[in-house]
Chains A and B, each alone.
Chain A
Amino acid sequence: MTVLDTELRPPEPSRGIVFWRRYRRNRAALLGLFIFAVVVLMALTAGFVDPGDPLRRAGDPLTAPFVDMATPLGTDQLGRDILSGLFYGARISLLVGVVATLVAIAIGVIIGALAGYFGGWVDDVLMRVTEAFQTIPNFVLLLTLVAILGSKIEWITLAIGIVSWTAPARMVRAEFMSLRNREFVDAARNLGVSNTSLIFREILPNALPPIIVYASVIMALSILLESALAFLGLGDPNYASWGNMIGQGRAVLRTAWYCAAIPGIAIVLTVLSFSLLGEGLNDALNPRQKQ
C-alpha cells in the first residue's frame, strides 16, 4: 500500500464558492439571477427614482410611452406614472412573493416535519388535513379567504401563503421520511439528542435544498396568484402593484395597450427569473443531476 488512508485530501473550497461554481455553469440561471437582481434593484431604488406617491396624478391620463419625459413609460387612466408604478410594484411583487413563500414554507415545514418525523397517527391526521387543503381548488380557497379578510395586501399575502403550503408540506414530509432513518439521524439520536433538536438541527438542514428550490416555484406562483386576484378586481388599491396595473389596464387594453402590457411583461420576466433561479439552485444544491 502506498497511500495511507489517513492522509487528508487538500481542503475543498468553501461551500459558497462551490455553490457559485455549480450555479454559474447554468447560463440560463445566470440570466435569471440578473433579472432577479434588476427587480430587486428596482424595488430598492423606487424611492430615488420617484420620491413621490406612485398613485398620485403625475400627468395627463393615458399618455403614451416616450411622449412626455416626465412620465417616460406613459400614464394610466388616472394619470399615474407607469414607470413609477413599475418600480414600486416591484416592491409589492417581491414582498408578496417572498412573504407568501415564507408563510407557505413555514407551515409546510412544520406540518411536513411533524408528519414525516413522527409518522403513525400524527402523520395520518396531518396528511388528512393536507389532503383536505389540496382537494379544495386553491384559487377558490384563495378567493374565499380574500372575501373573508378583505383585500389588504397583508391579508392577500397571508392568504396566498395559506393556499400554497401543501406542496412543500408533502415534500418536507417525504424528505423527513427518507431522512429520519438515515444513519446520521440514528447516530445523533444515539447520542441522546432530543426530538426537537433532531427535527430542526439534524434533519431539517438536510431536507432544505429541495424545499429551497421549490420555494422559487411558490414565489413565482404567488406573484401569478396576486396578479390573478388583482385581475378579478380583488387587489389592494392602496399600493401600486403589477397585478393591479394589469387589472385596471385591461379595461384600456385596446386603446392604451401599454397600461397592461408593461406590467404584464414585468410579471412574465420576474416569474421567469424565479424559475431560472430555481433551476440554478437545483443544479447547485442537488448536484446529482448533472449536465
Chain B
Amino acid sequence: MIEQSPILEIRDLKIALPEGSDRPFALDGLNLTVKPGEIVCMVGESGSGKSLSAGAIMRLLPEPHVHVAGGSINFLGEDILAKTDREMKQIRGNRISMIFQEPMTALNPQKTVGWQIDEVLKLHMEGNRAARRKHAIEMLNRVHIPDPESAYNAYPHQISGGQRQRVMIAMALSLSPKLVIADEPTTALDVTTQLQILKLIRELQQEDGAGVLFITHDFGVVAEIADHVIVLRQGEVVEQGAADQVLNHPQHPYTQALIASVPDLAPPPPKPVSTLPVVLKGTGLKKTFAAKGGLLSGKRKAVIAVKDLSFELHQGETLGVVGESGSGKTTVSRLVTRLLEADAGAVDVDGKDLLACSPSELRGMRKHIQMVFQDPMASLNPRKRVVDLIAQGPIVHGEDPEKARARARELLELVELSPAAANRFPHEFSGGQRQRIGIARALAMEPKVIVADEPVSALDVSVQAQVLKLLADLRDRMNLSLLFVTHDLRVAAQLCDCIIVMQKGEIVEAGVTAEVFADPKHPYTRNLLSSIPGRHWTPPVRNTDAA
C-alpha cells in the first residue's frame, strides 16, 4: 500500500476542564493519526475523555467551560484550531461528519428523515431540490434501507432503531466526507443490528476511502472493526498500535486488565443436572400490554410481551434469560416477582403460587424472592442512607431495627464495601458500588431466589467483571438460586448454568448453556451467537486475575 498522507493528525492535544472538576485536563497529550481508508478505534471506559476528542475535532466543545488548552489538530494539512467559525461550518457535515450513539435522540423528532438528510445537502451542495432528493434517496439506498422513498418521508419515530442509525450514516456519508467520526454508534443497538451496522460502516468507508475515527468502550466491537487501536484512560493514552497487536498482545497493564475483563465466550463446564428441589417455577405466564394509541385513534393496540412462558429453577442454579430488546425478558423478571400482574399463569416460589396470594400474603412472600435491578442510579432511593436501604426489608418484615442495621453493616462487608459506606447516600457511590449495595439489599432478606435484571449492563467493563465475580462468589458460597436476565451473551456464557433464549415473548430455545452455545438449534439463537462482536477473537489468556 502506498503511504498516503494522513487525513487527521492530532498532536499533543490537551482539553481543559472547568475549575473544580476532578482533574484539570479531560485529555492530556493525545497523539493520533487517521489515514485514508483506515478505521481508528479509540477505546476507553466512561470518563476517559474519548468523546471530548471528537468534540475538539469538530470544534464543538461546550466552550468556554471546556476548551482546547494546547496541541494541534491538522485536517488534510490544515490547522482546524485556526479556522474561523464560518470556515468550520463549511467543514462540518461536508468534509468531516459524525455519527452519534443514540439514533433516536440524535435525529430531530419533528422533521422527516428526508428533510434531515436534505439539510446537509442544502447546506453544502449546489443543486436544486430534485437533485438533492435524488441524492438523498440514493444514499438511503446505499445504507440498505428497504423502501427509501417512503423512508424519506417518514419521521424518525416511525422507523426502527437500526434504520435510524442507517439514516444517521446516510446523512454522515452523503457528501463523501474525508473523515467520519463515529461516537459509540452501535452501543444503543441490539447485538444483531449492531453487527449489521458495523458491517455497513466498514463497507461504505471502503467504497469512499474515508478515514474513520471510531469511539467505543467495547473490545468486541474493536475486534470486529478496528485497523488501529488507541486505549485511553483518564485522558491519557496508555497504549496504541495496530489492532492485532493491541488486542492480542496488550503491553500496558491497564489494557491487559481491560481485555481480561471481557467475559469469555466459553461457557462454564456444564454442571450435572440438578437433583436439588425446584425453588422457582413459572407455568404458562402471559402478559399483554395495552399500548397507547395515537392521538386520534382511541383504541389501544395490544402488545404481547410474554406468551405462555414456563421454566424451572433449581436450588443453587443460575438460569439465564437472554434476548434482544422487545423479547420480553425484562417483563419476565417483573412477572415472577409480581411487580407486574400477569394475565395468566402461576409462579411457584417454595411451593406456593405467588400470583394467587392476597396482598397481605404477598407482602409476606416477597422476602423469598428478591431482585437486583438494572440501573444502579435508579434502583436506590436517593433520599435514604445506605444502611436504611439495606435494613428496610427486614424491618418491614418485623425485624428489630437495630439488629437489622447491624446486619446491614455486615452485609456491606460481604459485598466488599467498607462499613463507612453505611451512613452515606447513594449518590456518593460509583455505579458498581451501588450495584453492590443493591445486592446487599437483596441478600438482607435471605431470599430463596434472586432475580437479577441486567445487573451489569450499565457498568463499565472492568467494573462489570468485578460485580459478576462477586455475584458468582456469593452464589457459590451461599448456594443462591439466580434468575439472571441479560442481553449480553458473553455475560450469560460466563455465569449461567442454563439459559432460555427469548424472542418476541416466546422461548425459542432452552437448555444447558454450554450445549446451547456449542450447538444452537434455533435459527434465531444461531443468528444471535453469530452476531456477537469479536466472536472470532479470543481474548489472550488471562495472565492476571481480575484485580
Chain A interfacial positions (CB closer than 8 Å to B) = 1-2, 4-6, 8-9, 11-12, 15, 182-184, 186-194, 197, 202, 205-206
Contacts and interface: CB of A to CB of B under 8 A. Distances in A.
Contact of B433 (A5, A12, A183, A186): A5
A8 B383 contact: no
Contact of A194 (B363, B370, B420): B363
Contact of A192 (B261, B364, B425, B462): B364
Contacts of B418: 6, 8
A191 B339 contact: no
A1 B254 contact: yes
Contacts, number: 104
B14 interface: no
A40 to B, nearest CB: 27
Interface residues of B, number: 52
Nearest to B421: A8
Interface in B514-547: 546-547
Contacts of A186: 334, 339, 371, 373, 379
Residue picked from B337, B339, B381, B420, most chain A C-beta under 10 Å: B381
Given A2-B253, A183-B379, A188-B381, 11 more contacts: A1-B257, A5-B432, A6-B432, A6-B466, A11-B428, A15-B425, A183-B375, A186-B339, A187-B379, A190-B339, A192-B363
Nearest to B256: A1
CB-CB nearest 3 A-B residue pairs: A183-B379, A191-B393, A1-B257
13 contacts: A1-B261, A1-B462, A1-B547, A8-B421, A8-B429, A12-B428, A184-B379, A186-B334, A187-B371, A187-B373, A190-B369, A191-B397, A197-B396
B441 to A, nearest CB: 7
Interface string B412-432: 000011101100110111101
A252 B337 CA distance: 72
A202 B467 CA distance: 27
B132 to A, nearest CB: 38
A9 B381 contact: no
Nearest to A186: B339
B374 interface: yes
B309 to A, nearest CB: 20
B392 interface: yes
Contacts of A5: 430, 432-433, 462-463, 466-467
A210 to B, nearest CB: 14
A265 B71 CA distance: 56
A5 B364 CA distance: 35
B393 A192 contact: yes
B430 to A, nearest CB: 6
Contacts of B261: 1
B357 to A, nearest CB: 11
B382 to A, nearest CB: 7
B382 A190 contact: no
B380 interface: yes
Interface string B374-397: 110011111100000000110011
B219 to A, nearest CB: 14
B371 A190 contact: yes
A182 B378 CA distance: 6
Contact of A2 (B254, B393, B427, B429): B254
B50 interface: no
Contacts of A8: 417-418, 420-421, 424, 428-429, 433
